[in-house]
């Protein structure tokens, strides 16, 4: 938008200069001598004054002096002193008249021009900030800010290394292609789809690809744009967006940076942020109000789902989350392939090696890398982009990234690998734990360096004491593995410890699962509806009980930690084998790990007999 109205401070400077020029010109043309009143009286007595104009405060006129070149006489003015002058004037036959002072020119210069100038500056600034014709009537209708793209030519094959996310989005495409047919068959569409993932992983790209594949219009807005400086404007924009989208259904509405707008209400500190809350409320109202049959699909992207207002995530709103993860080595190779199509690459590029050199990079970084390599090739006057350009580009992009977000070093990677395998191995060895789906050590953010994904097999309402204990052991498995392998422990486990302690405390205080304390309920705390912390309202139990609770919690943790350690010591061989694979591939499937484990158990049995 800035292309159209490029605003320059030089317009203002030029404007001021022109005004000053005109002003100076007028002053010089209208130059009038100011003479003392007594001299005026003398001139009158000497019959040298030809005419005067008398106003309330001053007298202007013309006089004939010896040096005067003008035939009508030289202009003069004097501040009026004596109102009863007419008699004298009469005596000497001077034409005289009263006059109402004209302040037109003076006021023009003293305030009309500055005011115009001020509005001019305001106009240009507004235009530049919003890309809009400013005006009070059009404030709520900032249509230009809603970007509609009609037939996008982005396709699914443009986004690589995100197969799981693509799979989940396939259904949406089917729906958008033929909403009527889809609903006839009883299919129910989610209203809101939330794409969760680090910046640059391709969330926007995927949303666009969905629109492109299903040939529907794509409305996009950024959450931060909704939050306007005028209260009420953001809400008006949301309304406008939905009105426009409904007219063009089937279509996709995409809100980038949902967290900028959807931060939990009441989280913004003193007084809150009225404007953002209003906008968020409007969004909730619109989401509840629209009929999904119309064929409007709302998609949003965020990299901080944890700070979103829980109201946004309720059923019927953004109830489907799709993880757009950082790509693993294989994924990076595929992304590189996509972007290499756009340049003239040498035939003997080793993509697998390149992918191995770029741990932690996301799609946007890889696109940047390819571009950087192409630029290098141009500078070196090569015909095709070769491996040496890519190697140098990796160094450059990495150096930039290292400043931005740390990439883990090999030693850290090893610790993370063993840590995650510790969780997985304990989980696989104990009954009643959720099956391990996959383990990944692709760095994702600051809190979690790697993760072990466990999916519950069914929705659970009841859990037995043994299951809870096994869950604690699984959580502690990460740290236990670190201790066994490296004989040292790291800070990487603090989240696990917090979760394990939480469960243990609940077992003791809420579920009556401690023998020493018995079947008593001691939890008198309220969960804050917004924050995931406890607001302690003070327990109604004695100091002695409090001490006992702490002891019991510690006991549970200690026993489970010992249990995890025993399991892992026994399976040290498996740990090492799996760690090697994980370090190489950055990702390992639960099934593969299980197979590996069964293999090693068999091997051991064979060795013993
Ligand atoms: P996000 O919305 O997650 O921050 P974008 O979708 O804006 O990321 O990605 C920015 C650019 O990076 C894209 O236009 C594309 O060129 C590149 N890119 C990101 N992810 C991928 C991917 N999975 N495959 C191919 N290119 C990607
Ligand atoms: Zn852990």
Q: How far apart are CA 541 and CA 525, in angstroms?
A: 12
Distance 495 CA to ligand 2 centre (A): 7
Nearest atom of ligand 1 to the alpha carbon of 195? 3
Q: How far apart are CA 163 and CA 578, in angstroms?
A: 24
Distance 201 CA to ligand 1 centre (A): 5
Please write the tens of the pLDDT for every residue from 474-508: 999 999 999 999 988 888 777 889 889 988 998 98
Query: Do 116 and 122 meet the contact criterion of CB atoms below 8 Å apart?
Result: no
Query: Is 349 in the same domain as 366?
Result: yes
Q: Which of 225, 88, 96, 208 is nearest to 153 (CA)?
A: 208
Please write the tens of the pLDDT for every residue from 559-609: 999 999 999 999 999 999 999 998 888 888 888 888 988 887 777 666 555
| 420 included as an active-site residue | yes
User: Residue for token digits 């043309």?
Assistant: 29
User: 532 falls in which pLDDT band (50, 70, 90)?
Assistant: very low
Residue 245 pLDDT greater than 50, yes or no: yes
Q: How many CB atoms lie within 10 A of CB 560?
A: 25
Nearest atom of ligand 1 to the alpha carbon of 197? 3
Q: Is residue 128 part of a domain?
A: no
Ion ligand 2 — residues with CB < 5 Å: 478, 496
Please write the tens of the pLDDT for every residue from 393-440: 887 787 666 555 555 678 888 998 999 999 999 999 998 787 887 787
**Residue 68 φ/ψ, nearest 5 degrees:** -60, 135
Query: Is 314 in the same domain as 355?
Result: no
Query: Is 483 in the same domain as 593?
Result: yes
Mean residue pLDDT across the chain: 79
Please write the tens of the pLDDT for every residue from 330-347: 999 999 999 999 888 888
The DSSP secondary-structure symbol of 272 reads -
Q: What is the predicted pLDDT for the residue at 520?
A: 82
In the chain, the largest separation of any two C-alpha atoms, in whole Å, equals 147
The DSSP secondary-structure symbol of 139 reads T
Domain of 70, CATH number, reads 3.30.720.210
Query: Do 25 and 18 meet the contact criterion of CB atoms below 8 Å apart?
Result: no
**Residue 77 φ/ψ, nearest 5 degrees:** -145, 155
Q: What is the predicted pLDDT for the residue at 534?
A: 44
Q: Is the CB of 165 under 6 A from ligand 1?
A: no
Residue 533 pLDDT greater than 50, yes or no: no
Share of the chain above pLDDT 90, in %: 19
What ligand has the least distance to the C-alpha of 336?
1
End-to-end alpha-carbon separation of the chain, Å? 77
Query: Is 372 in the same domain as 428?
Result: no
- Of 225, 286, 389, 420, the active-site residue reads 420
Q: Which of 585, 593, 579, 592 is nearest to 328 (CA)?
A: 585
Distance 251 CA to ligand 1 centre (A): 21
Kindly write down the DSSP assignment for every residue of 425-468, as one continuous string.
HHHHHSTTSPPEEEEE----SSS-SSEEEE--SS--S---HHHH
**Residue 213 φ/ψ, nearest 5 degrees:** -65, -35
What ligand has the least distance to the C-alpha of 370?
1
Q: Is the CB of 160 under 6 A from ligand 1?
A: yes
User: 371 falls in which pLDDT band (50, 70, 90)?
Assistant: very high
User: 266 falls in which pLDDT band (50, 70, 90)?
Assistant: low
Q: What Rg, from alpha-carbon coordinates, does the chain have? A: 39
Distance 301 CA to ligand 1 centre (A): 12
Q: Is residue 458 part of a domain?
A: yes
Query: Is 308 in the same domain as 447?
Result: no
Q: Is the CB of 469 under 6 A from ligand 1?
A: no
Query: Is 279 in the same domain as 387?
Result: no
Centroid of chain to Cα 472: 35
Query: Is 284 in the same domain as 314?
Result: yes
Q: Does residue 519 come out as left (phi exceeding 0), alpha (psi in the -120 to 50 range) or beta?
A: beta
More confidently predicted of 94 and 43: 43
- Read off the tokens for 261: 């707008």
Look at the chain and report how many structural domains it folds into: 4
Nearest atom of ligand 1 to the alpha carbon of 365? 12
Nearest atom of ligand 1 to the alpha carbon of 334? 24
Q: Is the CB of 198 under 6 A from ligand 1?
A: no
Query: Is 200 in the same domain as 264?
Result: yes
Q: What is the predicted pLDDT for the residue at 133?
A: 47
The DSSP secondary-structure symbol of 385 reads B
Domain of 183, CATH number, reads 3.40.50.300
Nearest atom of ligand 1 to the alpha carbon of 159? 24
What ligand has the least distance to the C-alpha of 474?
2
Q: pTM higher than 0.85 for the full model? A: no
Domain of 489, CATH number, reads 1.20.58.760
Q: What is the predicted pLDDT for the residue at 9?
A: 73
Q: What is the predicted pLDDT for the residue at 134?
A: 45
Distance 44 CA to ligand 2 centre (A): 105
Q: How far apart are CA 434 and CA 456, in angstroms?
A: 5
Q: Is residue 301 part of a domain?
A: yes
Q: Is residue 113 part of a domain?
A: no
Q: How far apart are CA 586 and CA 416, in angstroms?
A: 11
Query: Is 252 in the same domain as 369?
Result: no
Residue 551 pLDDT greater than 80, yes or no: yes
Centroid of chain to Cα 81: 72
What ligand has the least distance to the C-alpha of 203?
1
Cα–Cα distances in angstroms (integers) from residue 84 to residues 80, 87, 96, in the given order: 10, 7, 13
More confidently predicted of 369 and 67: 369
Q: Does residue 215 come out as left (phi exceeding 0), alpha (psi in the -120 to 50 range) or beta?
A: left
Q: Is the CB of 370 under 6 A from ligand 1?
A: no
Query: Is 160 in the same domain as 62?
Result: no
Q: What is the predicted pLDDT for the residue at 451?
A: 66
Residue 89 pLDDT greater than 60, yes or no: yes
Nearest CA, atom 18, ligand 1: 363
């Amino acid at each position: 938008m800035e292309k159209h109205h490029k605003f320059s401070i030089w317009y203002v400077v030029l404007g001021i200069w022109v005004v000053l020029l005109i002003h100076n010109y007028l002053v010089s043309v209208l130059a009038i001598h100011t003479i003392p009143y007594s001299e005026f009286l003398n001139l009158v007595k000497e019959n040298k004054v030809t005419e005067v104009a008398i106003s309330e405060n001053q007298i202007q006129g013309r006089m004939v002096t010896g040096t005067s070149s003008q035939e009508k006489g030289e202009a003069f003015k004097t501040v009026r002193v004596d109102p009863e002058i007419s008699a004298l004037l009469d005596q000497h036959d001077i034409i005289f008249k009263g006059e109402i002072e004209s302040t037109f020119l003076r006021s023009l210069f003293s305030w009309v021009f500055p005011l115009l100038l001020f509005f001019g500056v305001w106009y240009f600034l507004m235009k530049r900030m919003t890309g809009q014709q400013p005006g009070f009537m059009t404030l709520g209708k900032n249509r230009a800010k809603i970007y509609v793209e009609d037939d996008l030519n982005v396709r699914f094959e443009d986004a690589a290394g995100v197969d799981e996310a693509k799979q989940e989005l396939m259904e949406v495409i089917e729906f958008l292609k033929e909403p009527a047919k889809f609903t006839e068959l009883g299919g129910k569409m989610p209203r809101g789809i939330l794409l969760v993932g680090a910046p640059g992983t391709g969330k926007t790209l995927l949303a666009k690809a969905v629109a492109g594949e299903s040939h529907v219009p794509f409305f996009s807005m950024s959450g931060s744009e909704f939050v306007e400086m005028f209260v009420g404007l953001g809400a008006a924009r949301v309304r406008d967006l939905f009105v426009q989208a409904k007219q063009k259904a089937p279509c996709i509405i995409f809100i980038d940076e949902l967290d900028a707008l959807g931060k939990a209400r009441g989280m913004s500190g003193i007084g809150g942020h009225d404007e953002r809350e209003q906008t968020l409320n409007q969004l909730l109202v619109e989401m509840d109000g629209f009929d999904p049959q119309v064929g409007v699909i709302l998609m949003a992207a965020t990299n901080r789902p944890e700070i979103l207002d829980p109201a946004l995530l309720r059923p019927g709103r953004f109830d489907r989350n799709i993880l757009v993860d950082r790509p693993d080595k294989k994924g990076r190779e595929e992304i590189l392939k996509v972007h290499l199509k756009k340049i003239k690459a040498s035939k003997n590029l080793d993509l697998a090696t390149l992918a191995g050199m770029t741990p932690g990079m996301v799609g946007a970084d890889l696109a940047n890398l390819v571009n950087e390599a192409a630029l290098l090739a141009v500078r070196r006057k090569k015909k095709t982009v070769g491996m040496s350009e890519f190697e140098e580009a990796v160094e450059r992009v990495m150096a930039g990234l290292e400043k931005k977000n740390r990439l883990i070093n090999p030693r850290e990677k090893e610790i993370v690998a063993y840590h995650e395998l510790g969780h997985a191995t304990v989980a696989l060895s104990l009954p009643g734990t959720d099956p391990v789906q996959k383990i990944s050590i692709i760095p994702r953010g600051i809190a979690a360096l790697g993760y072990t994904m466990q999916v519950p097999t069914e929705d659970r309402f009841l859990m037995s004491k043994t299951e809870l204990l096994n869950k604690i052991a699984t959580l502690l498995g990460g740290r236990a593995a670190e201790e066994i392998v490296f004989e040292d422990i790291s800070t990487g486990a603090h989240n696990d410890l917090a979760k394990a302690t939480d469960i243990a405390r609940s077992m003791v205080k809420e579920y009556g699962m401690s023998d020493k304390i018995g079947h008593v309920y001691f939890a008198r705390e309220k969960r804050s509806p917004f924050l995931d912390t406890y607001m302690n309202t003070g327990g109604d139990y004695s100091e002695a009980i409090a001490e006992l609770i702490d002891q019991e919690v510690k006991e549970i943790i200690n026993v489970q930690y010992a249990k995890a350690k025993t399991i892992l010591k026994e399976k040290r061989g498996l740990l090492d084998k799996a760690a090697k694979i994980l370090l190489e591939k950055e990702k390992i499937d639960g099934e593969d790990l299980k197979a590996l484990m069964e293999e090693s158990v068999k091997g051991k049995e064979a060795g013993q007999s």
